[in-house]
Amino acid sequence: MELLVFQSMWAMEQLPGEHGQWSIEQQVHAILDAGFDGVQIEIPPYEPARETLEALAGSKRPWVMEAFPQTVDQLESTIEAVLHFGADRCHHIDIQPNVRPSTVLECIPYVLGWQRLADEAGIPLYFETHRDRMTTDLLFTLQLLDAVPPIRVVADLSHYLVGREFPYPVSEGNHALIHRVLDRAEAMHGRVASREQVQIPFQFPHHRQWLDLFLEWWEEGFRRWRSRASGEYPMTFTVELGPPPYAITGADGLELSDRWVDALVLKDLVRRRWDATSRAAD
């Protein structure tokens, strides 16, 4: 069984210091040189995605395509782009369902429609847990997962910690809710949140409790994935430390930490947790 750790191209935007002067090609080379397995890109916009994948082409590394459709048919253009760029190297499409029905019943035609299009194209499709999307609320999303058992998710747990404002220490009941999401997770996104901020500088000593919480959740996600996966298709983890306003800035407008350095640290921390589950499985 294998873990692929990707870096988000969105997370390369507005990097502090000299990193912020990198072109897309330089960003891709920096990501690969740093030991990431591939990249996650967004579409739209089309042109940065094309430039990113051209820079990645020589390496034969995998990538993830992220999309934000508002209708079932809008996913078709994403699928066309994946097929054009090379579906054999696209690990999956990460869909942020950009609609906000008020009932689970209203969600089902969207979910089944998107899944049908992806299945017909032969491309894995996972639904991201994210605020201001169909999956914005943890309890609503769990009801949706119960209603449509084939759904698999990209678990970005930072949104649920903030959205539900879990107090620390997190209760057993709230852990259990997160574990239900992890039971359906084929991929995960990585940033560290607190109950009030979606992305905190996790290397600050006073944020250690939140870092430990997320590492615990991610390791639990790895264990649960191992217990049900065939091992033929890798698990993915995308480091996704976003630019401001995700990244917190001081009175001078500068970020409180070096986001690129943080991404490299997070990559290594996650791989250590994966290795721990690998040793436990032996």
Task: Please give the Cα distance from 56 to 38 (Å, whole number).
Answer: 8
Q: 3-class DSSP state for residue 64? A: strand
Where are the strands (E) in the chain, listed by range?
A: 3-8, 38-42, 63-67, 90-95, 125-128, 153-155, 185-190, 235-239
Q: 3-class DSSP state for residue 165? A: coil
| Residue pair 2/237 in contact by the 8 Å Cβ criterion | no
pLDDT tens digits in sequence order for the chain, 282 residues long: 899 999 999 999 999 988 989 999 999 999 999 999 999 999 989 999 999 999 999 899 999 999 999 999 999 999 999 999 999 999 999 999 999 999 999 999 999 999 999 999 999 999 999 999 999 999 999 999 999 999 999 999 999 999 999 999 999 999 999 999 999 999 999 999 999 999 999 999 999 999 999 999 999 999 999 999 877 789 999 999 999 999 999 999 999 999 999 999 999 999 999 999 987 766
Task: Please give the Cα distance from 264 to 54 (Å, whole number).
Answer: 23
Looking at the DSSP bridge assignments, the partners of residue 39 are: 7, 63
How confident is the model at residue 282, as a pLDDT?
A: 63
